[in-house]
Structure formats: structure tokens, C-alpha cells
Amino acid sequence: MENPRFSVIVPVYNRIDEVRDLMESLSRQSLKNFEAIFVEDGSTLPCEAAIKEFPEVDARYYYKENEGRSIARNYGMERARGDYFIFFDSDCVIPPDYFRILTESLDAAPTDCFGGPDAAHESFSDTQKAINYSMTSFLTTGGIRGGKVSLEKFVPRTFNMGFSRRVYDKVGGFREMFSEDIDMSTRIRNAGFEISLIRPAFVYHKRRVDFKKFLRQVYVFGMSRITLKLLYPGSLKLVHALPALAVIIGVLLLLLGIFCSPWWLLPLGVYLLAIFCSALVATKSLSIALKAVPASVIQIAGYGCGFIKAFFLKIVLGRGRDVNEEVMMRKGK
């Protein structure tokens, strides 16, 4: 049997319904030159039955004890047969022409590592669409997640990332840490491989379903950026510190507005109005635009506070990278 060109690797932890949606989207691919490998990471609600509902997909299922999503991805790579490893999150839905677009792009311009952006599917809730806006808008993230305008070099994320077997043989697998995809991309770039953005090869990413879970996620992202700075001293850029700066400025403006003059609140109001108008134009939905405002505040404040806390603890106080803290937080999934 001829090996597939691509091996799709998906770590799973108690996500039966999401896996079913992902499998359905894989079953609808216009070009099926891939295998799908699902690694159940110690789930109490296994998804094997949901995978078997789609026999037209060349899929394999593995169950292992809970060790973290990076270990699960590495477990999948060890068993993959493809020339390229593709990584999706279990909460992704893949457009039907994804692998056709990816194949044509790699044939026209070969590259060893690549990724694409994400978008909100029409079936997603307004909250999910608002969170998607806040994670992809230039006004909130500087376009670092595959936007058309960006303040930083493109870094693939594991909701839509791929690299060749040659990269794996030289660089190895993922580290079990927060922002493991950024760490992996940095190691790939440092090893001399090219990293490319294939913008037409996007995925639909469901993200968090409520603001509380979203806050925890971005808070962890902010903390992990300092860990990455300790691992790679030259990796920290101004764009990464902007949310922390925004938190400091925002608090100062609030205090001045409360104790001095309400006019100090005007810059905050103008910025939030800009987010609302931008989201309204982008999504053409008043409901999503209204939710995009608190989602963006959570995005910036959560990330910024995590960044500030980690900067103070790990750099100012010199505690370095607290691996145990990261592992304990990861156990919460």
C-alpha cells in the first residue's frame, strides 16, 4: 500500500463531539492524500466510536495515558507514514479543498514548514466568532496569527501547522510546555529551515466557548511568552509586550478618569469603539461586534496580566522557568 503524502495528527482529550465534526470535514475533502492519526491522551470519554463513523477516512486511533498534548503529538509522529506531518486541534473543522490547496501550494513552492490562518465557521456561536475576531484582528494581536498585516514573522500554530519528515528527523518532536508550537517553530527556524504562510489553506477553529475559559487560555499565553524569552533570549519582540503595556496604560487611564477627570477615559472609549466598528465591518453582525469588545478586552488584559506576572517572577525575581507550574496548569486542559 502506497504511503499517504500527509499524516494528520490530532491529540484528543474528552472531545467526542468535536472529533466527530473534524472527521466529517475530513471525509468531505476533495483530495484524500492523507491519513488521520488520533491520539487519545488519557480521556475518560474516548472518541474511537466517533472516528469509526467515517470509514471513508484512512484513520487510526490510539489510546495512551495522560501525559500532555505534546507527548500525544510525538506519539502520533512516531507512527505516521506520511512525508509531511499536519497538526490540527480537535476543535477544528477543515474546509473541503484544504488538502488540494496545500498540495498545489507545496508543488508550486516546496517548503519544509508551513501553516495557515484560522477563521470562524458560520455554524459557530456568536461568542466563538467574537473570540475568533479578538484572536485574529490586527487591533488586538498585531496580525501575528497569519493576518494580512503583521508586526512579526509568521509563526505556525498547531491548530493549522505542518512540517516535513526531514524537519522531524533533524529537530525532533514537541516539548511538553505552553506555547509548544512557538517553541517548535523557533527550533525549526534556528535549524535553518524555511517557514511559509499558506494563507489559502485555512481552517475553521472553534476556540473557547465562553469568556471564562478564554481568559484562562490567554493568561497562560502571556506567561508562556516569558518562558520562551528565557529559552530564546532574542525571541521577545515589542509586539509581544504591547498587551502588557496596554494593561498598564489602561489602568492608569482608569485611575485618572476616576480621580481626576473623565476626559482621561476618552482614549479607552475611542479604542473600544474602533474594535466595535472593525468587528462590525469584518463580521457584518451587530451581536458579534458587541461581544467582540469584551472578548478583545479579555484577550489583551488576560495576556498582559500573565505576561506581567511571569516577567516579575521569572525575570525580576530570577525564578526562571517553572516547569512544575506549567505542568500543573496543563493538567487542567
**DSSP-derived secondary structure for 144-183:** TTT-SS-SS-----TTSEEEEHHHHHHH----SSTTHHHH
What pLDDT digit, counting tens, does each position of 313-331 carry? 999 988 765 544 444 334 3
What pLDDT digit, counting tens, does each position of 72-101 carry? 999 999 999 999 999 999 999 999 999 999
Inform me whether the pLDDT recorded for 211 exceeds 70: yes
Alpha helix ranges (H) inside 154-265: 165-171, 180-190, 211-231, 238-259
What pLDDT digit, counting tens, does each position of 22-61 carry? 999 999 999 999 999 999 999 999 999 999 999 999 999 9
Nearest CA among 103, 98, 105, 116 for reference residue 160? 116
Residues 6+ apart with CB under 8 A from 19: 10, 12, 38, 47, 50, 51, 90
What are the Cα distances from residue 223, in Å, to 179, 217, 226, 304, 333?
Answer: 10, 10, 6, 9, 16
Q: Are strands 6-12 and 84-87 parallel, antiparallel or unpaired?
A: parallel
Inform me whether the pLDDT recorded for 66 exceeds 80: yes
pLDDT of residue 319: 79
Q: Are 18 and 71 a contacting pair, CB within 8 Å? A: no
Question: What pTM did the predictor assign?
Answer: 0.84
Cell reading at 226: 516569558
What are the Cα distances from residue 179, in Å, to 155, 175, 225?
Answer: 11, 9, 8
Cell reading at 14: 474528552
pLDDT of residue 326: 46
Distance CA 325, CA 242 (A): 24
Cell reading at 194: 524555511
